[in-house]
Amino acid sequence: MTKSALQVARASYIPKVPAGLKGNVKIEEGAATESVRDQKEIKELFPNTYGMPIVKFTETAGNPGMDKPINVGVILSGGQAPGGHNVIAGIYDGVKRLHPDGKLYGFILGPSGLINHEYKELTGDIIDEYRNTGGFDIIGSGRTKLETQEQFDKGLEILKKLDIKALVIIGGDDSNTNACVLAEYYAKINAGVQVIGCPKTIDGDLKNEQIETSFGFDTACKVYSELIGNIQRDCNSARKYWHFIKVMGRSASHIALECALQTHPNICIVSEEVAEKEQSLDDIIEYIAGVISKRAEKGLNFGTVIIPEGLIEFIPAMKKLISELNDFLAHNQEEFDLVRRSGKRDYIISKLSPENSSIYASLPETVARQLTLDRDPHGNVQVSLIETEKLLAEMVKNKLDQWKKEGKYNGKFASITHFFGYEGRCAAPSNYDADYCYSLGFTASMLIAAGKTGYMSSVRNTTRPAAEWIAGGIPITMMMNMERRHGEMKPVIQKALVELNGAPFRYFESQREKWSIETDYVYPGPIQYFGPTEVCDQPSNTLQLEQNGTIGLD
């Protein structure tokens, strides 16, 4: 395989790790824990893994090895996120540090690899090929849900065959919830297999008081911010386009907000604010058109708008429409498939409640069609397929045309749309993600050595230099509450949305008026790997604001 010069240079990068992981590791256990909510229900559902203490690793004298080798299995679950290969490298190095004969097996293409017994041993040569690289291609990832007892038993067969004592599941909130259910089941039947989770998702919505950030968020935001900065420089040069830029984030707007903090666009919509203020689609259009009109008065007929991917589901009226569509299609998909393409829109209009039907009828043709495309494995609309950026650009244009007729606006409006998602999910990890991921993986091995199950690997204090990071484990049940999913109450890890009273949003709110009218663009440029630490090792603005209340260079 031909490698780029950067790949060759990055292969030898040695991730920085917390001091606590450097030598022999001592485990410190805290007090018993409770779930964030619904303690009684969660305790009943997880009798073997509820209430366990938070643990922390510190360095101690002595030999870090174990008498017997441990074999470990690893699964990559869900969407790609930069740094996954370093998590696996960290697990591998941890397993080998414990005993040179320990083995690491990777299950192919996500949880289905465990169920279908498709795996490969990850040897030192393979691991070395992937250190500090982006992507999940070392073993591939998949979105199969690991949730039934039949799947758990099928998985156990291969785990036993390979003498695997612990399984590490690298995934988002749903995959880690399922990891905990699996840990509980294996504990209940005395299977002799521990299960450890690792917090992954570029969306940044798997975080809480114990988990500072999910890996991949830092790199993905830096890649998107580079692209947005480039667009801003172009738009400030040509001065003739409004760019509507949608960024990934299936649900929460963390990515949009972080990119805004890094690049100072003229507009950034935050879905959580839209929901809180119960804004309609028309309110959002009016707001965007209003900023465009104010800039036009100053002769600035150009600008940038950042749109979070999940926006559509946070507009209360659209949420109701999507929910009815989800239910309707879940029961009538076959009939819908038989309707001719040209008749599908009218078919849906005729089947929905009057309120939703009129909203659906008001949507542009393309978006109406996108709302009825195939659902994901959870039965939800795939928001990444909805071209919200085009919807907004088109509706803003209509609004401005109307204002022009009414004499309220006298500018020029031309728009270009973009969607940044897949461009960032497999990028080479930033130093932050390379270090964080390696530490998460290594910590997972230490949790396994300590006999833990039902824990999520955690590395905290990450706005400080890596040596001061704190490695340990958080019981997954601690992050859970009961939520209604497809009509049933289920134990799930709480998804972290943008907090409107949190420091990152408040900072954005204090600046957005200025950014909207003035042209205060920041051009972050590409991720820097080598050079001064304030350029190469800065965590995301979100984390810095959350932990320090300020952004490094401010």
The pair of structure tokens assigned to 251 is 């649900």
Query: Binding ligand FBP by CB under 6 A: which of 309, 387, 435, 537?
Result: 309
* Binds ligand FBP (CB under 6 A): choice among 18, 20, 73, 78: 78
Stretch that binds ligand FBP, among 75-83, 107-115, 119-127, 325-333 (CB under 6 A): 75-83
Quick check: 228 and 304 in contact, CB under 8 A? yes
Residue 246 is a binding residue for ligand FBP (CB under 6 A)? no
Q: Is 203 a catalytic residue?
A: yes
Measure the CA–CA gap between 399 and 290, rounded to whole angstroms: 10
Within 168-310, residue ranges assigned H as helices are 173-188, 217-238, 254-263, 271-276, 281-297
Residue 165 binding ligand FBP, by CB under 6 A: no
Query: Counting contacts by CB under 6 A, is residue 201 touching ligand FBP?
Result: yes
* Residue 202 binds to ligand FBP (criterion: CB under 6 A): yes
- Total residues in contact with ligand FBP, by rule CB under 6 A: 14
Three-state secondary-structure class, residue 201: coil
Q: Does 79 bind ligand FBP (CB under 6 A)?
A: yes
What minimum distance in Å lies between the beta carbon of 537 and ligand FBP?
24
Which of residues 15, 94, 111, 172 is near ligand FBP by CB under 6 A?
172
Angle ∠(264,269,270) on CA atoms, nearest 5: 105
Closer Cβ to ligand FBP, 196 or 493, answer by number: 493
Q: Binder to ligand FBP among 71, 75, 97, 203 (CB under 6 A)? A: 203
- Contact characters 367-406, ligand FBP, x per CB under 6 A: ----------------xx----------------------
> What is the torsional sign of CA 90, 96, 99, 103?
positive
Angle at 147 between CA 77 and CA 75, to 5 degrees: 25
* Rounded Cα distance, 293 and 413, in Å: 9
Listed in sequence order, the residues at least 6 apart from 400 whose beta carbon sits closer than 8 Å to its beta carbon are 289, 292, 293, 409, 411, 413
Part in contact with ligand FBP (CB under 6 A); list of ranges 74-82, 97-105, 451-459, 541-549: 74-82
To the nearest whole angstrom, how small is the minimum distance from the Cβ of residue 496 to ligand FBP? 12
Give 93 or 173: the residue with its C-beta nearer to ligand FBP. Answer: 173
* 84-104: b (≥16 Cβ within 10 Å) or e: bbbbbbbbbbbbbbbbeebbb
Would you say 193 or 256 has its CB closer to ligand FBP? 256
* CA distance to 32, 269, 328, 383, per residue, from 367 (Å): 49, 19, 18, 11
Q: How many angstroms separate the CA atoms of 423 and 248, rounded?
A: 10
Catalytic residue selected from 93, 173, 203, 433: 203
Q: Which H or E run contains 243?
A: strand 242-247
CA 99 to chain CA centroid, nearest Å: 33
Q: Which is nearer to ligand FBP, 248 or 480 (CB)?
A: 248
Please state the closest distance from residue 304 (CB atom) to ligand FBP, in A.
Answer: 20
Distance CA 168, CA 184 (A): 14
- Of 383 and 444, nearer to ligand FBP (C-beta) is 383
Binding region for ligand FBP (CB under 6 A) out of 76-84, 367-375, 433-441, 491-499: 76-84
Binding segment toward ligand FBP, per CB under 6 A, in 117-125, 159-167, 195-203, 289-297:
195-203
Q: Residue 299: what are its φ and ψ, rounded to 5°? A: 80, 15
Binding piece for ligand FBP, criterion CB under 6 A, among 67-75, 77-85, 155-163, 452-460: 77-85
The closest alpha carbon to 130, from 5, 13, 218, belongs to 13
Binding residues vs ligand FBP (CB under 6 A):
78-79, 81, 172, 201-203, 248-250, 309, 383-384, 425
Which residues are known to be catalytic? 203
